[in-house]
Amino acid sequence: MDANSKYIIDESLNIGEALVSLNQLSNDILTLFVVDGQGRMVGSLTDGDIRRCLINGVKLDAPVSMAMNRNFHYLQYGNISIDEIKTLKSKKIVLLPYLDCDRRIIKIYNLQKQKSILPVDAVLMAGGKGLRLRPLTETVPKPLLKVGNKPIIDYNIDRLIEYGVDHISITVNYLKEQIESYIAESRVDSNICCVREPQYLGTIGSIRFVEHFHHDTVLVMNSDLFTNINYEDFFSHFSEHQADMSVAAVPYSVSVPYGIFDLEGREIKGIKEKPTFNYYANAGIYLIKKDLLKLIPSNTFFDATDFLNLLISKGYKVIRYPITGYWLDIGKFEDFDKAQELVNHL
């Protein structure tokens, strides 16, 4: 049974029957959503709505429409506003229905559990061989290696879902059957699908095999990252600056243990003693306008850095978003060990 169905009742019920449905929610959130005969949402109903109705003398056998609230909060497909969601959370709204264009309920969000609801699709790149982690990756694909008590890829999927990203594609190649089987068994009630890459096409080339995107913005990331990036802030920054592509970046410092000359030709103009140079490194997480993905060549090895340079050469706006939390690219044994230590302290 759909997890949403316990919150949905038909407008043909009377108030007494609605009370029974509320009672069945037990310790859950005492809110119901009322739909008409065509499944279109027409109102919301709480125990408080019914209590006020009964105080005013309405009988239990009266239609539920006499108690329901017709001025309800909802999200409309294709019109999700991050500011609106923040406002609703501040008003202590807990359950929020997500309606299609015909006002039918697609999903019901619990805003106590959701960090946000972002209008983006996500693509996780999971096709690599993980050569630097052999022998661990000789029989297990790197995204399925466990950090703590669950595979690396699950940390990324779970975090995306926390931010309301419902449509997730995973591009697979090396030991693809294992990833496909794991996702099919562990994510039964989700919109997560695996997309086969016919040959290794770099860090973004396989995205051309994703057949459909539901939103105008696509988040692309490596599946073997371990990070607590704030995806809502990432998306808001992308939108605020009207970017075509945003690249998540991590600070990276290089300390030189010697004095460095400031030269003009062979002439020394000064010396910097043991300087530290600060840079930003590519974190392997990108937000991209969907329409630009058609610029990626088909069936061609193509890295995300190739795509970034292509957009810059064509005059598109590519910006940097600094990650302020933790970030690990689990590429080497040292990184894998760091991730194990980090998860034990979360």
CA distance linking residue 178 with residue 33, whole number of Å: 40
Distance CA 196, CA 213 (A): 16
Among 206, 235, 214, smallest CA distance to 304 is for: 206
Residue 130 has what pLDDT?
A: 80
Tell me phi and psi for residue 16, to 5 degrees: -60, -45
- Residue 211 CB neighbour total at 10 angstroms: 8
**What is the sign of the dihedral through the CA atoms of 206, 209, 210 and 216?**
positive
Tokens 């699908």, residue located: 193
SS3 content of the chain, % helix, strand, coil (to 5): 30, 30, 40
- Do β-strands 167-172 and 120-126 pair in parallel, antiparallel, or remain unpaired? parallel
pLDDT tens digits for 202-236?
999 999 999 889 899 999 999 999 899 999 999 99
Tell me: pLDDT of 296 over 80.
yes
171 has which bridge partners? 125, 195
Q: Residues 141-166: pLDDT tens digits?
A: 999 998 888 999 999 999 999 999 98
